[in-house]
Structure 1
Amino acid sequence: MDRSDTDIFAAQRPRLLGLAYRMLGSMADAEDAVQDTFVKWRQADRALVANAEGFLTSVCTNCCLDHLKAAHRQRVDYVGPWIPEPLQIEAGSDPERDLGRAQSLTTAFLLLLERLSPRERAAYLLREVFGKSYPEVAAVLGVSEQACRQLVSRAGRHLQDPASRYVPAADHQDRMLGAFLAALESGSTDRLAGLLSETVQFSSDGGGKTAALRRVLEGRAAVAKYVARIIGRLWSSGRPKLLDINGLRGVAVFDGSRVVTAMTLGYDADARIDRIYSIRNPDKLVRLTRPLRHDPESGALWQ
């Protein structure tokens, strides 16, 4: 492989990483898929590669599909709810514009992708997030253009959940997080309940490796009570810090220099908190202190 081939891959790597993370919900798995893509790029006969970007996208997508098969088997035995790995995403120069375009990184959206078949997920992301044409997506997946359109259409119907679509302004997110932390510190169930929608859900991912609720808790009263009494106690000795997590403002709780909890929120159309995601699995928190850059136009992620 000569220098130009290496440069071609390096230029495409952030976009491939953005695709792989959205496909897999895990940066470790995404990095593995991108590395597998690089190996296959090195082995490819350049005379048969007419479009390097298309070739790399196709290889990376299919590597992700292989990873999803293995991940499905592993998640059958996963302890408690599974939540995607949180990432600290640096805010861009235009926060309001970036908020809307980063919707495909939010925890709520990534969890909705879990409802899709692997091929539906790939087709939807390539078409709707990465802007590939239907013929390009069909070529990547090895299906007809008509079948590709059906995959994207089915995926779109599954993703019609308002919780994944509403992204409030950054200042509203900061106000809600500030009020949430103040209510948590006070231990007031009523103050917490006032921030929550009636249909709020609380999910906690400990992976069986640390204390976490092993079921999804639903309803304003139950969630407010649990957060005030249990989360308040778990966070009492930690140091919370506001971070930009997966396209939204979130909270990381530190024990010294180590992150022990990452919390992100989802909002309903009235801008009330409708989803609370608490990630406590230590394996998913090791990268949170290393910010990533996100290009809203291309979906690329830079480490």
Structure 2
Amino acid sequence: MSRIEEFEEFRPLLFSIAYRILGSVSEAEDAVQETWLRFEATPTRPESVKSFLSAVVTRVSIDVLRSARARREEYVGPWLPEPLLSDPYDDPARAAELADSVSMAALVLLERLSPLERAVFVLREVFAFDFPAVASAVGRSESACRQLVVRARRHMAAGRPRYEADRRMRDELAERFFFALREGDVDGLRELLAADAQMVGDGGGKTPQLARAVSGAGPLARLLTTLLPVLARVDVTVEPCQVNGQPGAIFRDREHKVLNTWTLDVLDGRVQTVRSVTNPDKLGHLGPVADAWALSREAKLARRATA
């Protein structure tokens, strides 16, 4: 097997590790590419290619995350990860577990950890690397890594997101949610929302945003059912799909360009949180990005014309 073939075999795993550490598709892809360059420049074949590549992509990701921390602290509004439509690392035996670890809620929670804690937690708790492999990847002793995992578990447990265990039930609820949304059924939508349901939007200060945070089943149901007709006036369509392993949707303009994504956190038969990513910098990997400001202006003109 050639070196490039060996690398391609592990590329999906490397991306999955990097994305969970970084929460960014573009940065994860860059980390994987840097890993290839270092692998290509290695004069001799490592004893374990998987261990070598996993260690390199982890170290690269830690460095990238450290440099990104300052930018994220200055981020305008709530920060959400770049939406991921499908995780390329396919392990059917652990599909549900891996999907939960890549959810928006889980990745937001991982932001509480230091870069080193985050990397150790991802390798050990998500991908089940043994401690010698984890220690080798991050350049720390096994004892230090065990302590890092304990601290990371404690932080994660304090706010660990919970999900509907039955994925079929969760998907069926999401189907009913988007049906009620399309029909403008405020009462039906309210029944599907938790009493303290909320909407969280990440525009990074680069797209029109809601004037205030919205929470509560009633206010959120009214907002959502008034929002869709406004979007429909400018030919925006809603495509339900899986986003970060959770029920969600992609919104597209009339030219099929991506306007934003939604993900739904579902628990106990209710939608707990709607997470919307509209920052164009986080949508480019999904395809051409729509001009949200132009659509907003067009929608206002259309509303005035029909008033």
Q: TM range, normalised to the smaller chain?
A: 0.7 to 0.9
How big is the shift at 1:186?
4.5
The aligned runs of 1:24-43 (5 Å cut-off) are 24-43=22-41
1:41 CA drift (Å) = 1.3
1:80 to 77, 81, 85: 77
CA RMSD after TM alignment: 2.9
Distance 1:274 1:128, change over 3 A: same
- Partners of 1:80 and 1:213 within 8 A in 2: no
Structure 2 counterpart of 1:144, which letter? Answer: S
The alignment partner of 1:202 has SS state of: strand
1:138: Cα distance to partner? 1.4
Residue 261 (structure 1) aligned with residue 260 (structure 2): yes
Gaps of 5+ in 1: 291-303
C-alpha distance in structure 1 between counterparts of 2:228 and 2:60, whole Å:
38
- Amino acid across the alignment from 2:8: A
- CA-to-partner distance for each residue in 1:201-239, whole Å, 9 max, x for gaps? 311111222212377544334433433344653465311
| Structure 1 residue matching 2:161: 3-state secondary structure | helix
The alignment partner of 1:164 has SS state of coil
Equivalent position to 1:57, from 54, 65, 81:
54
- TM (norm. structure 2) is 0.82
Q: What CA distance in whole angstroms lies between the structure 2 residues aligned with 1:201 and 1:157?
A: 26
CA distance, structure 2, for counterparts of residue 134 and residue 117 of structure 1: 19
Alignment of 1:236-247 (within 5 A): 237-247=235-245
Matched to 2:247, the amino acid is: R
Q: Which has the higher contact order (CA 8 A, sep 6+)?
A: 1
TM-score between the two structures when normalised by the length of structure 1: 0.83
**Bigger Cα Rg:** 2
- Determine whether 1:219 maps to 2:216: yes
Counterpart for residue 179 of structure 1: 176
Q: Which of 130, 140, 144 matches 2:137?
A: 140
Distance 1:60 1:254 in 2: 33
**1:129 matched to 2:126:** yes
Partner of 1:5: 3
Q: Which amino acid aligns with 1:39?
A: L
Letter in 2 for 1:166: Y
- Measured after TM superposition, the shift of residue 168 of structure 1 is 4.2
| Match in the other structure for 1:200 | 197
Q: Do residues 249 (structure 1) and 213 (structure 2) align?
A: no
Question: Could you tell me which of 282, 285, 288 is aligned with 1:284?
Answer: 282
Aligned to 1:299: none
C-alpha separation between the residues in 1 aligned to 2:19 and 2:212?
Answer: 25
1:163/1:146 CA distance change after superposition, 3 Å: closer
1:86-105 superposed matches below 5 A = 86-89=83-86, 98-105=95-102
Q: What's the offset of the Cα at 1:279?
A: 1.1
- Provide the C-alpha distance between the structure 1 equivalents of 2:186 and 2:53, rounded to a whole number of angstroms: 51
User: 3-state DSSP class of the match of 1:159?
Assistant: helix
Distance of 1:266 and 1:260 partners within structure 2: 20
* Deviation larger for 4-13 or 126-135: 4-13
